[in-house]
Chain A
Amino acid sequence: RKEVEQDPGPFNVPEGATVAFNCTYSNSASQSFFWYRQDCRKEPKLLMSVYSSGNEDGRFTAQLNRASQYISLLIRDSKLSDSATYLCAVNGRGGSYIPTFGRGTSLIVHP
Chain B
Amino acid sequence: SQTIHQWPATLVQPVGSPLSLECTVEGTSNPNLYWYRQAAGRGLQLLFYSVGIGQISSEVPQNLSASRPQDRQFILSSKKLLLSDSGFYLCAWSLSGVAYNEQFFGPGTRLTVL
Which residues of A come within 8 Å of B, CB atoms?
Answer: 31-32, 34, 41-46, 49, 87, 89, 91, 97-99, 101-104
Q: How far is the CA of A31 from the CA of B101 in the complex (A)?
A: 10
The reply on B104 being an interface residue by CB < 8 A is yes
Question: Is there an interface contact between A44 and B105, defined as CB atoms closer than 8 Å?
Answer: yes
Residue of B34, B43, B98, B108 near A43 (CB, 8 A) is B108
Given A87-B44, A104-B43, A43-B107 contact (CB < 8 Å): yes
Residues of A within 8 A of B87 (CB): none
Interface flags, B99-110, vs A, CB<8A=1, else 0: 111111111101
Interchain residue pairs A-B with the least CB separation, the first 7: A103-B43, A43-B105, A97-B101, A101-B44, A32-B100, A43-B108, A44-B105
Size of chain B's interface in residues, with CB distance under 8 A? 22
Question: Is there an interface contact between A43 and B110, defined as CB atoms closer than 8 Å?
Answer: no
Interface flags, B31-61, vs A, CB<8A=1, else 0: 0101000000011101001000000000000
Residues of A within 8 A of B44 (CB): 44, 87, 101
Question: In the complex, what residue of chain B is closest to A89 when comparing beta carbons?
Answer: B103
Q: How far is the CA of A31 from the CA of B42 in the complex (A)?
A: 25
Residue of B101, B106, B110 near A99 (CB, 8 A) is B101
The reply on B67 being an interface residue by CB < 8 A is no
Question: In the complex, what residue of chain A is closest to B49 when comparing beta carbons?
Answer: A98
Question: Is there an interface contact between B102 and A41, defined as CB atoms closer than 8 Å?
Answer: no
CB distance from B1 to the nearest CB of A (A): 14
Residues of B within 8 A of A34 (CB): 102-103
Residues of A within 8 A of B103 (CB): 34, 46, 89, 99
Q: How far is the CA of A87 from the CA of B49 in the complex (A)?
A: 20
Residues of B within 8 A of A43 (CB): 90, 105-108
Q: How far is the CA of A34 from the CA of B94 in the complex (A)?
A: 13
Question: Is there an interface contact between B46 and A98, defined as CB atoms closer than 8 Å?
Answer: yes
Question: Is there an interface contact between A49 and B100, defined as CB atoms closer than 8 Å?
Answer: yes
Question: Is there an interface contact between B99 and A103, defined as CB atoms closer than 8 Å?
Answer: no
Residue of B43, B90, B99, B104 near A97 (CB, 8 A) is B99
Question: In the complex, what residue of chain A is closest to B57 when comparing beta carbons?
Answer: A98
